[in-house]
């Protein structure tokens, strides 16, 4: 309970110290990755300022940061849009993840404390109790401290590696994950694979932890490649190329 209270206090302090631009950036980033603002959607500063209650200055700064993060793009004669889904890009992200997160697992096996490993086990227990996972519909869709992969990268305790994995690629990947459903049975299988990875980390077996993580991500990539083609993504993109929805 004390640990949870510390996290809540730290989160409150972070929120209190955020600038208006920071808040706008975090809110818009969350809504884009969750699909509340759809892939391919046109960005209107006037509409966003009204819908989110954000003044133009902080909003423009937030949009610039979202563009640098790869979530927004500016197209000649069209304007700014949320990036559209692209199958090849997603598969490339998974190739990079396989290498980097495999390394993160190797380092986590050496650097995570026993307490951190125990907390990671508790996190997987929380994932297992999620109704969407139990129904086979989707894996637990939370970011940051509630994300198994995120916690392993943090547990690797290598700042340069964390910047590579938890920066632009992390949020772009989350946008894809919200739009792409997993094949039947994959959520439960992913949980089983997560537990095997955790067991290897707990045993301090860096070789096995890296091997299992690479295999886990490779399976996910192969599943996406077999389940989708670019035409599927094009249909999603075309269906969402319209002005932003109102929040009222």
Beta carbons of 132 and 140 less than 8 angstroms apart: yes
- 237 is a domain residue: no
- Between 110 and 13, the higher pLDDT residue: 110
What is the average pLDDT across 184-193? 81
- 241 is a domain residue: no
- What pLDDT score does 34 carry? 85
What is the average pLDDT across 135-140? 51
- 11 is a domain residue: yes
- Between 207 and 135, the higher pLDDT residue: 207
In tens, the pLDDT along 81-120 reads 999 888 999 999 999 999 999 999 999 999 999 999 999 9
Please indicate, yes or no, whether residues 188 and 165 belong to a single structural domain of this protein. Answer: yes
Please indicate, yes or no, whether residues 144 and 216 belong to a single structural domain of this protein. Answer: yes
- What pLDDT score does 238 carry? 67
Please indicate, yes or no, whether residues 227 and 214 belong to a single structural domain of this protein. Answer: yes
Please indicate, yes or no, whether residues 31 and 146 belong to a single structural domain of this protein. Answer: no
Please indicate, yes or no, whether residues 116 and 177 belong to a single structural domain of this protein. Answer: yes
- What pLDDT score does 236 carry? 64
CATH of the domain at 78: 1.10.10.10
Please indicate, yes or no, whether residues 114 and 189 belong to a single structural domain of this protein. Answer: yes
Please indicate, yes or no, whether residues 100 and 215 belong to a single structural domain of this protein. Answer: yes
Residue 186 has pLDDT above 70, yes or no: yes
Q: Concatenated DSSP letters for 127-169?
A: HHT-HHHHTTS------GGG-HHHHHHHHHT-HHHHHHHHSHH
CA atoms of 168 and 164, how far apart (whole Å): 8
- Between 6 and 89, the higher pLDDT residue: 89
What is the average pLDDT across 133-157? 74
From 39, 61, 83, give the residue that closes a domain.
Answer: 83
Helix (H, G, I), strand (E, B) or coil at 74: strand
- Between 70 and 140, the higher pLDDT residue: 70
Residue 131 has pLDDT above 80, yes or no: no
Please indicate, yes or no, whether residues 28 and 73 belong to a single structural domain of this protein. Answer: yes
Number of separate domains in the chain: 2
Domain boundaries, position 55: 2-83
Residue with tokens 């986590």: 108
* Phi and psi, residue 38, nearest 5°: -75, 155
- 242 is a domain residue: no
- Between 30 and 16, the higher pLDDT residue: 30
Please indicate, yes or no, whether residues 45 and 130 belong to a single structural domain of this protein. Answer: no
pLDDT-derived band at 133 (thresholds 50, 70, 90) equals low
Please indicate, yes or no, whether residues 74 and 96 belong to a single structural domain of this protein. Answer: no
- What pLDDT score does 21 carry? 87
Distances (CA, A) of 38 to 29, 83, 241: 12, 9, 8
Query: Where would I find the H helices in the chain?
Result: 2-17, 20-34, 45-52, 56-68, 87-111, 114-128, 131-134, 148-156, 159-166, 168-179, 186-202, 206-227, 230-239
CATH of the domain at 182: 1.20.120.530
Please indicate, yes or no, whether residues 79 and 183 belong to a single structural domain of this protein. Answer: no
- What pLDDT score does 118 carry? 97
- What pLDDT score does 25 carry? 92
pLDDT-derived band at 128 (thresholds 50, 70, 90) equals confident
What is the average pLDDT across 27-40? 89
Whole-prediction pTM value?
0.78
Q: In percent, how much of the chain has pLDDT > 90?
A: 47
Please indicate, yes or no, whether residues 218 and 109 belong to a single structural domain of this protein. Answer: yes
């Amino acid at each position: 309970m004390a640990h949870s209270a510390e996290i809540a206090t730290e989160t409150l302090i972070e929120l209190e110290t955020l600038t208006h631009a920071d808040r706008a950036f975090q809110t818009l980033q969350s809504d884009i990755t969750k699909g509340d603002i759809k892939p391919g959607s046109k960005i209107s500063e006037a509409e966003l300022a009204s819908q989110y209650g954000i003044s133009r200055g902080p909003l423009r700064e937030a949009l610039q940061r979202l563009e640098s993060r790869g979530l927004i793009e500016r197209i000649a004669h069209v304007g700014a849009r949320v990036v559209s889904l692209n199958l090849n890009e997603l598969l490339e992200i998974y190739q990079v993840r396989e290498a980097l997160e495999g390394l993160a697992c190797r380092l986590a096996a050496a650097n995570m404390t026993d307490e951190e490993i125990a907390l990671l086990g508790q996190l997987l227990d929380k994932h297992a109790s999620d109704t969407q996972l139990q129904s086979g519909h989707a894996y637990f869709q939370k970011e940051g401290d509630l994300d198994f992969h995120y916690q392993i990268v943090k547990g690797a305790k290598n700042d340069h590696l964390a910047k590579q994995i938890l920066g632009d690629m992390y949020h772009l990947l989350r946008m894809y994950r919200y739009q792409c459903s997993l094949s039947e049975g994959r959520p439960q299988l992913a949980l089983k694979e997560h537990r095997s990875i955790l067991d290897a980390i707990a045993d301090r077996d860096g070789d096995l932890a890296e091997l299992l993580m690479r295999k886990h991500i490779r399976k996910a990539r192969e599943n996406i490649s077999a389940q989708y083609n670019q035409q599927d993504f094009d249909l999603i993109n075309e269906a969402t190329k319209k002005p932003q929805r109102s929040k009222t």
